[in-house]
Structure 1
Amino acid sequence: MTENEAAWITEPAEYPFKIHNAAKPKPGPGEVVIKNVAVAINPVDWKIQSLGRYLNQYPFVLGQDAAGFIEDVGSGVNRFKKGQRVIAHCYGLLTQDPAHGAFQLYPVTAESLVTEIPESLTFEQAVVLPLAVSTASAGLYRKDYLNLPFPEADDVKSTDKVLLIWGGASSVGASAIQLAVASGLTVFTTASEANREFVKSLGAHAVFDYRSSTVVEDISHVLRGLNFAGVYDAIAEEPSFAAISEIFDMLDSKVPVASVLPCDRPTERCIPQYVIAYSIIQEPHNDIGDWIWGKYLPRALANGAFQAKPDPYVVGDGLKTIQHGLDVQKKGVSAKKVIVTL
């Protein structure tokens, strides 16, 4: 039996993935190898496969969310040892190195993007978090985005600031709500009526139905007169861009906006910025990554201050079912994340 196998994409827009051998990676300095137990599917995965964009190298291994056991550690790694239960953000799209893709039995990633998980969390539950946490953190904490105070797992210091998160029931939105609340902010968010209680359980103070014909007026009315800190757009599509722009027009306000994608139609006041999840490991001294992955998450997951949400939706077992996972995600899911076990 081979030591490692992967779900390979060997040419642009190839469908389905090809399952075959992969070299078992050796960790470099500051890296760890994960023995994979579960992976999560993100929209970017099927978009890359379907559109044949964003990759400079083929064959390649996609996937960014991994959960499993530490298999090996490189020089300089001091937080982990073989056998620990962890989640990891794999960053192959940044390095263009297939060894850094999650859709394989043994991916390698940076120690700074790995967190130990408590026994109270299954791998399937925990693997919903990595990319969502990194993406939310980049937008919330980078100085050139929203520049919020770092979150605390205990003794949160409340502020009088209010943050609007558009798309709170998405995986990024669910992480952003919890992180912002842990940073002491009051969170207003949008969600469908069906997901109202879900986002409130994450700490959202007020929830607005994004499908309502009066959602812009409703949000603007409540925000008027408050210490409005900014907007995190976790949806980043034309309807969210337009609604946020209209809110700013009604409030005649200028506040920072972060978005998971660039705004195609910016206005004078609404210019969502490109939130690159990997930027938290490219920051000077890696302050954000060190705090979120090294200090906050281990403590917050252990004491229950941070929930692994949305809930996992397991659709298959084994590398051969990852393609099915992408197909399910492409059709659309709500307040859950597509998971494949390995």
Structure 2
Amino acid sequence: MSNQSLNQAAWILKAKEQLQVKEAPFPKADAGQVVIKSRAIAINPVDWKIQAYDDLPGLKYPSILGCDLAGEVHEVGSGVTNVQKGDRVIGMAVQLVTGNSAQGAFQKYVLLPSNVVAKIPSSMSFTEAAVLPLNISTALHLLFRKETLGLPLPSTPGTAPPKTNKSVLVWGGSSSVGACAIQLAAAAGVKVVTVASAHNLENVKGLGASAAFDYKSPSVIDDIVSALAGTDFTGIADTIGGDAPKTWGPVYKKLGGRFGTVTPPQDMPEGIEGEMVYAELIAAAKEAHETIWGGWLEQAMEKGTAKALPPAKVVGKGLESLQDAMEVQKNGVSFQKIVVEV
């Protein structure tokens, strides 16, 4: 049996249809590319939103969705030096950017650019590691692009973070993106204040937040402002989006600063500057991207300073479980990321 008959994918054949597992072309790695054999696939809100709303410009059907995976390197193209065949890795699938279904995560063999692939330590399982890729990329854009917050880049793992007086508010610290944003900002020597549900406050402090508050508390704005007193406040990394600016807006009115957000901003405070992180921008922050994916992430995972959090919640095994997994994610999770083992 040839390799070309061995790949399968969970296809979305038409708008708003359920996923169907069918044969898929076997990808070939060209220069600068890697083929990964999937062992675990994580679900992001963008996955079920595409299926539910069909509002992604340029999406063509049939298509293979999915952004996050962990697995083994099956093939490397010419010029690839950061990984080799057999390495255990995480990767960020970029089908939403390229429109190429070979680069969607919901399949057994996935084609990726090598610059969004990083080796994982032997101590980290594929299931654990799969929670990280898209969230790392999204968080680095919220924090480090000059169009968003323009924070300094993290120090080399194992060395003390640089001393700064900068601070940031991560709105939604227990979200998947929020958990990565806290870790990256703390590694850059930035004071992190965050909000989450009351039962997750200790979890987000464990990621490096200096202070964490219940976002439902009537005193939450005063608590945040007090915790940020005496710092050089940079702004808000909004990992929730939607109408969240209505809640955090008073922080801006008191302290100023910029914003970065993960969804189209609504009810933004007058005068604030910043940007939404689009899928198309994932590779735009060249220096930050090269720093994080080009060595920092691998070293930080190895040293245990980059934690694969929020923890994976496995809801099934095999591509046939991906549709159910999207429904679980759609119904809401708290400090968890939904993962399917392959």
1:266 aligns with 2:231: no
Q: Within 5 A, what are the aligned runs for 1:64-143?
A: 64-143=67-146
Deviation at 1:279, TM superposition (A): 2.2
CA distance in 1, matches of 2:194, 2:269: 22
CA distance in 2, matches of 1:87, 1:225: 39
> What amino acid sits opposite 2:55 in the alignment?
R
1:200 aligns with 2:205: yes
2:27 to 25, 28, 45: 25
C-alpha contact 2:211 2:227 (8 A) present in aligned 1: no
Identity %: 42
Deviation at 1:270, TM superposition (A): 3.3
Q: Which residue of the partner structure matches residue 297 of structure 1?
A: 297
CA distance in 2, matches of 1:36, 1:259: 30
C-alpha contact 1:86 1:115 (8 A) present in aligned 2: yes
> What amino acid sits opposite 1:276 in the alignment?
Y
Q: Within 5 A, what are the aligned runs for 1:1-342?
A: 2-14=5-17, 16-54=18-56, 55-152=58-155, 153-155=157-159, 156-238=161-243, 240-249=244-253, 251=254, 253-283=255-285, 286-342=286-342
Q: TM-score, normalised by structure 2?
A: 0.95
> What amino acid sits opposite 2:185 in the alignment?
A
C-alpha contact 1:112 1:281 (8 A) present in aligned 2: no
C-alpha contact 2:120 2:302 (8 A) present in aligned 1: yes
Moved over 4 A (4+): none
Is the alpha carbon distance of 1:3 and 1:115 closer, same or farther for their aligned partners in structure 2, counting shifts above 3 Å? Answer: same
C-alpha contact 2:149 2:274 (8 A) present in aligned 1: no
CA distance in 2, matches of 1:245, 1:277: 25
Instruction: Point out where structure 2 has 5 or more consecutive residues left out of the alignment.
Output: none
CA distance in 2, matches of 1:225, 1:75: 51
Deviation at 1:28, TM superposition (A): 2.0
> What is the aligned residue count?
336
CA distance in 2, matches of 1:222, 1:47: 35
C-alpha contact 1:245 1:270 (8 A) present in aligned 2: no
C-alpha contact 2:214 2:220 (8 A) present in aligned 1: yes
Deviation at 1:301, TM superposition (A): 0.3
Deviation at 1:272, TM superposition (A): 4.7
3-state DSSP class of the match of 2:109?
Answer: coil
Deviation at 1:244, TM superposition (A): 2.0
CA distance in 2, matches of 1:231, 1:70: 37
3-state DSSP class of the match of 1:67?
Answer: strand
Q: Deviations over 1:143-183 (max 9, x none)?
A: 22111111121222121111110000000000000000000
3-state DSSP class of the match of 1:121?
Answer: coil
> What amino acid sits opposite 1:23 in the alignment?
P
Instruction: Point out where structure 1 has 5 or more consecutive residues left out of the alignment.
Output: none
3-state DSSP class of the match of 1:107?
Answer: strand
CA distance in 1, matches of 2:162, 2:288: 18
Point out the more displaced range, 57-66 or 268-277: 268-277
C-alpha contact 1:162 1:228 (8 A) present in aligned 2: yes
CA RMSD of aligned residues (A): 1.3
C-alpha contact 1:13 1:50 (8 A) present in aligned 2: yes
CA distance in 2, matches of 1:56, 1:227: 42
